[in-house]
Every structure is written in structure tokens, then in C-alpha cells.
Amino acid sequence: MWLSGILATAGTGSAVAGMAWVSRRLRWVDGADLIPTVGAVTSALIFFFFGTLAFLIVSTTQCVSAAEQATAQEAGALRDAYLSATWLPADQARTVEAALTGYTRTVVDVEWPLMERNQVSPQAWTELDALRFESGVLIGADAASDARTKQATADIHKALDAVYQQRRVRVADVRAGAPTMIVAGVIGAGAVSVLFPLLVGWPRGRRYVAALGVLGAVMGFGVWLVLQINHPFGSGIRVAPTAFNDALARFASIEH
């Protein structure tokens, strides 16, 4: 992933510097009289580019952080439900534990690859609904149960409520991301801000070619960074199923 960032930065900088060198060699127009206008327009475009870029980086980073937090809370609620299930009678405990393990594995093995393509798994919803129904059956049948079983079923139901809540947040985050129009506007502003001076032939000199190349490289890296964090589960820098894998490991370590 970082190699692609280095290549994008170096490629953008080299391309802009190359175009500036070609502009200098061809001397398309004499832009001496346009220096104030070109400077003002270029400055405005650069200000728009970096201002919008900063907004996109902050907003998308917050979105990734929120998605990671919701994922951790969902996995934590699954662990709570599994732990509470150990207090049930053996046959009921095995049923609930198997359902919890199955749902968690489905999220990791089936749903996570789909989330990388901005989709969710209907199978995961079905398994969670079945688990919720099973817990409802336990709660409805606990009138003749002892206090320990009643408390366990109540705790399971509470934990599953949290799982549902955080899953809804995760599903919403799957489709989160900066609007395409804004991202396209940033890319367009960056391209125009480095191409506009070249088109009017101002200014000339090796230092200008180098400076424009550096500016192009920085802009290219900024756009690449936004694209890498634009979607919490589908970009280069994305949320991994670490919390759910940890939950599965916790399930395996819990003994009755």
C-alpha cells in the first residue's frame, strides 16, 4: 500500500516537473504581463485544494476511527453474550454458544470481504436474527428456571441488543465516504493549479520547474491519502476484523 503512495507521489511530481520543463523549452507564450493574475488565480486554487483536502482527511479519519470503535463494541457485546451463556443449562449453553460462534465466523469469513466492496452479508443478518429468536425463547421459558438462569438469559438479551445496535452502525459505515463530487473537485483544483501557470508560460527557470514538481508531488500524495482512507472498510487504510478474531479466540478459551 505504501509503495503505491510513494509511486503516486513520485509519479505526480515527475509528471508536473516534466510538463514544466516542456513548457519552458517550447516557450508557448510570454506570460510576463500575466504574473499578477496568474499568481492570484493559482494562489486561490491552491488554497481551495489544501483547505478541502484538510477537511477530507479529518472527516474520513474520524469516520475510520468511529467504525473501528463500533466494531470493537460489537465484538465486545458478543463476548459478553458468550460469557453469560456459560451460566445456562448445558444443552441451552451449547446452542447459544454455537450460534454466537457461527455468527462471528460469518462476519469474519463472509461479510468482511463483502464490506471491502461496500456490501454486507444477508447471511449474517439471518444468523443474528436466529440468535435473537433463540434468546427470546430462553427468556420466555425462564419462568420455571432458577435465578442464575434467569439472570443469564437477561444478560444475553441485553448483550444482543448491543450487538444489533453496533451492527447497524457498522452497516451504515460500510457505505460511508466523502462525496464523489468533492473528491473530484479536489483533484480538479490540484490539476488546474499546476497546469494553469504552464499554459500561460509563467514563470520560467529551473528553480520554478523544481518547485512546481514538489508542489505536484505533495498534491498527488494528498489525493492518494484521501483515497486510501475514504471508505472505512474498503480503502487501503481500513478497519480489519481484529476485534472479531479476538472474540473467537476468547470463545475458544472460555471453559464451563
Helix (H), strand (E) at residue 49: helix 35-85
* pLDDT tens figures, 155-185: 888 999 999 999 999 998 888 877 788 888 8
Q: How confident is the model at residue 152 (pLDDT cuts 50, 70, 90)?
A: confident
Give just the sign of the alpha carbon dihedral 106, 108, 109, 115: positive
Q: What is the DSSP letter of 201?
A: T
User: Do 111 and 121 form a contact (C-beta atoms < 8 A)?
Assistant: yes
Q: How confident is the model at residue 11 (pLDDT cuts 50, 70, 90)?
A: low
* pLDDT tens figures, 91-109: 888 888 999 999 999 999 9
Non-local (6+) Cβ contacts of 48 within 8 A are 189
User: Do 219 and 64 form a contact (C-beta atoms < 8 A)?
Assistant: no
Q: 23-32, 64-73, 122-131, 133-142: which range is least confident on average?
A: 23-32
Mean predicted confidence (pLDDT) in 44-56: 84
Helix (H), strand (E) at residue 100: helix 90-106
Considering the entire predicted model, what is its pTM? 0.75
